[in-house]
A = this chain, B = another copy of it.
Amino acid sequence: MNTNPKLAYLTAVLVSTTFFAATIVQAAEPLPSWNDGKTRQSILDFVAKVTKESSPEFVPPAERIATFDNDGTLWAEQPLYFQLFFALEQVKVLAPEHPEWKTKEPFASVLKGDLKSALAGGAPALLAIVGETQAGLTTDEYATVVKEWLATAKNPKTDKLFTEMAYQPMVELLDYLRANGFKTFIVSGGGNEFMRTFADKTYGIPPEQVIGSSGKLQFELRDGKPALVKQPELFFYDDKEAKPIAIQTFIGRRPIAAFGNSDGDLQMLQWTCSGPGARFCLYVHHTDAKREFAYDRKSSIGQLDKGLDEAQAQGWTVVNMKDDWKTIYLTDQK
């Protein structure tokens, strides 16, 4: 719409400078933590195909939407989902305010230190723990508590901060896609408010591009000022079929690339890779018991069974962590 010739000229300068900058990024060898081989090459080939203007499969930048699962895809998820470590800690912190938890499951078992019994209730038990420990906090208060926890809490298996367990190769992949005009989103079963506290700093993904499960919120006046207060009930559980639904509801465009690690991501990958034109679907396969964790078809966390079969049938890229990644965790601390 803008017909100002000076602006048009400057826009042209900007665009060409941007292309030049993108070229430099590529020239500096993209994906340095990925070993050479067909996995890394499949990413480079796809990006070349959709970004080269002369390519028959060129995709305009606005449509270069890439969606990423978080737990097990961008950071680790063992021995338990990291958000669950936070919620379990909160059960202990908040127990004095909740005398009823002493006799109410799954809280009673958590307080006794019997995690196995606490989680025997499956997803409903897990959602109760997450939901009730955040209820009553404003969204600002919740973010503060999460940030404080993330600053010091450590994973019992690695003794690392949880954000240090983001995967270096995946962070490079996010950077590489963005340098090539992609808009990167998280679409995860994890809580949206939980992930937003670190996604920008750790992954370069701003809050408005983080889609997750979310609890109900209530609009209230507190001391005469509006506040959004977290409720114990779930609003939206972002897993399996709900992932493509969330993509459509929140983003409104079908991604051209999707990245996951479990059967919970299968429908997102199916939705992404069944669209017209060039598409890219990738599963991270946890095969490195030494440097990370090895699990797939039988795991209760991050089960990858149907997804592995579908990836083979469809020719999707499968990352073999052991062979494809030079390093696992963040080397370049932010």
Number of copies: 2
User: In this assembly, does A158 line the interface, its C-beta being within 8 Å of a C-beta of chain B?
Assistant: no
Within 8 A of B (CB), among A1-24: 1-2, 4, 6-7, 10-11, 13-14, 17-18, 20-21, 24
Whether A306 sits at the interface, judged by CB under 8 Å, is no
B10 contacts A17, C-beta separation under 8 Å? yes
Tell whether A219 pairs with B207 under 8 Å between CB atoms, given A28-B7, A175-B1, A175-B2.
no
Give A2 to B21 CA distance when docked, in angstroms.
Answer: 12
Q: Is the CB of A4 within 8 A of B18?
A: no
Q: Closest residue to A3 on the B side, CB-wise? A: B332
The answer to the question of A39 belonging to the interface, with a C-beta cut-off of 8 Å to chain B, is no
Would you call A226 and B244 a contact (CB within 8 A)? yes
What residues make up the interface of A, taking CB atoms closer than 8 Å to B?
1-2, 4, 6-7, 10-11, 13-14, 17-18, 20-21, 24-25, 28, 62, 65, 139, 175, 183, 192-193, 196, 204, 206-210, 214, 217-219, 225-226, 228, 235, 241, 244-245, 248-253, 267, 270-271, 274, 332, 334
Closest to A14 in B: B17
| Closest chain B CB from A254 CB (angstroms) | 9
List B contacts of A207 (CB < 8 A): 251-253
A-B contact pairs, 11 of them (CB 8 A): A7-B24, A10-B21, A10-B24, A14-B21, A17-B17, A208-B250, A218-B245, A219-B245, A219-B271, A226-B244, A226-B271
Contacts of A62 in B (CB 8 A): 206
Given contacts A2-B25, A4-B24, A226-B267, could you give 14 more A-B pairs where the C-beta distance is less than 8 Å? A1-B332, A4-B25, A7-B21, A7-B25, A10-B24, A65-B208, A139-B248, A192-B249, A207-B252, A208-B209, A208-B251, A208-B252, A210-B252, A226-B271
When chains A and B are docked, how far (Å) is the Cα of A250 from the Cα of B139? 13
Contacts of A20 in B (CB 8 A): 10
Q: How far is the CA of A303 from the CA of B235 in the complex (A)?
A: 29
A1 near B217 (CB under 8 angstroms)? no
Residue of B nearest to A28 (CB): B4
Q: Is the CB of B18 within 8 A of A6?
A: no
Chain B residues contacting A28 (CB-CB under 8 Å) are 4, 7
A247–B271 Cα distance when bound, in Å, is 26
Closest to A224 in B: B274
Chain B: CB-nearest residue to A11: B21
- Tell me whether A249 and B214 are in contact (CB under 8 A): yes
